[in-house]
Amino acid sequence: MLDIKFIRENKDIVAAGAKKKRIQIDLDKLITLDDKRRELQNKIDEKRAEQNAASSAIAAAKDPAEKQTIVARMQEVKETLRLEEESLQEILKEWRILMVQVPNVPDVSVPEGDSDADNKEVRQWSPASGFGGEKPQFDFEPKSHTELLLMHDMADYERGAKVAGFRGYFLKNDGARMVWALERFVQDRFADKGFVPMIVPSLVRRESFVGTGYLPQSEEDLYKTQDGEYLAGTAEVATMGYLQDEILEKKDLPLKFFSFSPCFRREAGSHGKDTKGIFRIHEFVKYEQVVLCEAKHEESIRLHEEITENAERLLQELELPYHVVINCGADLGLGQVKKYDIETWMPSEKKYRETHSSSYFHDFQTRRLNIRYRDEGTLRYVHSLNNTALATPRILTQIVENNQRADGSISIPEALRNYMGKDEIRQNR
């Protein structure tokens, strides 16, 4: 959420940012409501001050008639105050609804665009030649991950659908072993990076979703319980809620969390997309980098590059070709100032597909969640950032496809061999 003072003083900048994100918001209506809110609040404050002064006057008055006159006048003030407070609550309801719809202002480096097709490539990496490397080539027609996982009895989609419904799946044998290997791999790689490891709730109250910006805009993509909680699609939501309404110390910043949780997404807007295999599913597991830092743009930029590099190094160790794109305005969320997507090569589709997202928000989330820090006697809202460390089982799709051989066997990336206890996957083995 943006500061209303910033919105009022920088209306043109906020409007331009909303236009860049392709988000419609009536800022004139918001400012008009804010004028009414401030006017009513001033009147209410004046009447409360008048009541306080009257209480002192009544106590000091010697003449009973004088006391009665003051009391009668205060009865009128009390009734007027009641009506004004009711009006203020009605205005505040509408004001708050509009306030949580105002998008954050994107960075100047964010390109214009109408969809993810307009995202701009920043860099490309491949195992054969490093940065700037060419996309991998096969001297045979590569199979899809769907075929490969079935061929090696690593997954069962039919029984997954029978048990869990559409997009349900079972991972088994080397499919399950590889997910466990990946989890140990990513845990080990973050053990010495200064991140606090956490297992966080998946079942989260609404406040944390509003605070992180997932509600009210993305409600259709969330599973909701009969008790009013929601199932999170990322560990970011609970991790940000962890410090809600707390005051931190500047000396403790940045705070870095390496958070794990099961995740759930309805994929409501993805009907007909990736209906086979395990690339787009309703239930998965995610390790997330979440960072809170000082309220400095330069610090957010520095840490944004750092957490992006952390994710890239994981892909490099897994020997997976990828590229990094900067997301265009229309492909940014409500609160994101800037976002990178890391997309890993899918040989069967001959294109890159997203495996990681890396974003920073300035104080958009922390203002909603009321997370502040002391800076030489002044309370400031911290800045927040997040980035996927690893999401499974999606990453299996790129691992098996990029490491397949002409005979159908799969080479296990060297970084996972100690965890798997072997260096390849073959049928009947």
The pLDDT-based confidence of 180 (bands split at 50, 70, 90) is very high
Span 194-201, average pLDDT? 98
Distances (CA, A) of 370 to 239, 299, 363: 14, 20, 10
pLDDT score at 428? 62
Domains defined for the chain, CATH in brackets: 4-99 (1.10.287.40), 116-425 (3.30.930.10)
Query: Is 265 a residue of the active site?
Result: yes
CA torsion 40→45→50→53, rounded to 10°? 180
Bond from prior residue into 321 cis (ω within 30 degrees of 0): no
Per-residue three-class SS string for 288-345:
EEEEEECCCHHHHHHHHHHHHHHHHHHHHHCCCCEEEEECCHHHCCCCCCEEEEEEEE
Instruction: Determine what percent of the chain is predicted with pLDDT higher than 70.
Output: 98
pLDDT score at 274? 64
Distances (CA, A) of 250 to 256, 295, 366, 378, 386: 14, 10, 15, 11, 20
Query: Is 280 a residue of the active site?
Result: yes
Q: Which of 144, 202, 357, 384 is catalytic?
A: 357
Tokens coding 226? 């009969």
Q: What is the DSSP letter of 220?
A: G
Rounded distance between C-alpha atoms, residue 4 and residue 13, angstroms: 13
pLDDT score at 240? 98
pLDDT score at 177? 97
The pLDDT-based confidence of 268 (bands split at 50, 70, 90) is low
pLDDT score at 272? 60
Backbone angles phi, psi at 115, to 5 degrees: -160, 180
Rounded distance between C-alpha atoms, residue 358 and residue 327, angstroms: 10
Are the C-beta atoms of 92 and 37 separated by less than 8 Å?
A: yes
Residue 271 has pLDDT above 70, yes or no: no
Are the C-beta atoms of 424 and 413 separated by less than 8 Å?
A: no
Q: Which of 189, 265, 367, 372 is catalytic?
A: 265
Cα 193 off chain centre by: 21
Residue 152 has pLDDT above 90, yes or no: yes
At CA 73, angle to CA 84 and CA 91, rounded to 5?
Answer: 0
Residue 21 has pLDDT above 60, yes or no: yes
> What confidence tens digit (pLDDT) does each residue in 274-328 have?
668 889 899 999 999 999 999 999 999 999 999 999 999 999 999 999 999 999 9
Residue 4 has pLDDT above 70, yes or no: yes
Q: Which of 259, 300, 394, 401 is catalytic?
A: 394
Non-local CB neighbours of 50 within 8 Å, separated by 6+ positions: 74, 77
Q: Which of 280, 353, 380, 417 is catalytic?
A: 280
- Name the nearest CA neighbour of 360 among 383, 391, 330: 383
Query: Is 354 a residue of the active site?
Result: yes
Rounded distance between C-alpha atoms, residue 138 and residue 370, angstroms: 52
Backbone angles phi, psi at 288, to 5 degrees: -125, 140
Span 55-59, average pLDDT? 81
> What confidence tens digit (pLDDT) does each residue in 69-99 have?
888 888 888 888 889 999 999 999 999 999 9
Rounded distance between C-alpha atoms, residue 279 and residue 397, angstroms: 7
Span 92-121, average pLDDT? 95
pLDDT score at 79? 87
The pLDDT-based confidence of 405 (bands split at 50, 70, 90) is very high
Rounded distance between C-alpha atoms, residue 366 and residue 421, angstroms: 44
- What is the pLDDT of the chain when averaged over all its residues? 93
Q: Which of 50, 183, 219, 354 is catalytic?
A: 354
Instruction: Determine what percent of the chain is predicted with pLDDT higher than 90.
Output: 81
Span 194-222, average pLDDT? 93
Q: Is 123 left (phi over 0), alpha (psi -120 to 50) or beta?
A: beta
pLDDT score at 277? 82
| 66 vs 175 pLDDT, higher one | 175
Q: Looking at the DSSP assignment, which residues form a beta bridge with residue 288? A: 259, 388
CB atoms within 10 A of CB 268: 11
pLDDT score at 210? 94
> What confidence tens digit (pLDDT) does each residue in 373-401 have?
999 989 999 999 999 999 999 999 999 99
**Residue 162: is it exposed, middle or buried by C-beta count within 10 angstroms (0-12/13-18/19+)?**
exposed
